[in-house]
Amino acid sequence: MKFANRIRVEFEQPSHGWLPTKVVMNDFELEMAASNVPVNPIYLLYTAIMDVVNGSEATVWWHLEPAGYYFKFTRPEPQLYRLVISFATDHQQAPTFIYGIKGSAADIILPFCRAIKKLASFKHDEHDWPKLEKKQLVRLTDLISALKNVA
């Protein structure tokens, strides 16, 4: 099943706990600088990808101190993924819907996987941004290969 909903995800060079991030979907564009405090959103994203591919819904909190974006990934059908982006001015407020998109794994999941892999290739100190473990990157690489074969 092919969809016209492609996502482009770019993580730029992190610095002092901040990660410049750009997500483009059709007519929607989001630019933010996410914080790795109190949790690393890249680790949350990695975990969310693994969960949603296995059929569980998952949410990634992109903390902006104090506001934040929430990316909720679901898999309503075996070959269909959905991403809903919402925003809250702080973590105690209910998030407000911003944008939603659905598509195949190639449309929704692979762009995030590739962006994580590219981020892992950047040379930076641990104080600038924590890195995923090698075994997590291997698992991500395996997932990319598996999803490409399905697409």
> Is it the case that residue 4 has pLDDT exceeding 60?
no
The model's confidence at residue 151, banded by pLDDT at 50, 70 and 90, is: low
> Is it the case that residue 42 has pLDDT exceeding 90?
yes
pLDDT at position 124, please?
86
The model's confidence at residue 74, banded by pLDDT at 50, 70 and 90, is: very high
**In b/e form, how buried is each residue of 46-71, taking b as 16+ CB within 10 angstroms?**
bebbeebbeeeebebbbbbeeebbbb
- 3-class DSSP state of 27: coil
Architecture of the structural domain at 7-136: 2-Layer Sandwich (3.30)
The answer to whether residues 104 and 2 touch, using CB atoms and an 8 Å cutoff, is: yes
Q: Residues 78-94: pLDDT tens digits?
A: 999 999 999 999 888 99
What is the average pLDDT score of the chain? 93
pLDDT at position 60, please?
98
pLDDT at position 7, please?
94
CA angle 75, 78, 79 (to 5 degrees): 90
What are the structural domain ranges in the chain?
Answer: 7-136
- Average the pLDDT over 39-66 and give the result: 96
Residue length of the chain = 151
Q: Residues 114-135: pLDDT tens digits?
A: 999 999 999 988 889 998 999 9
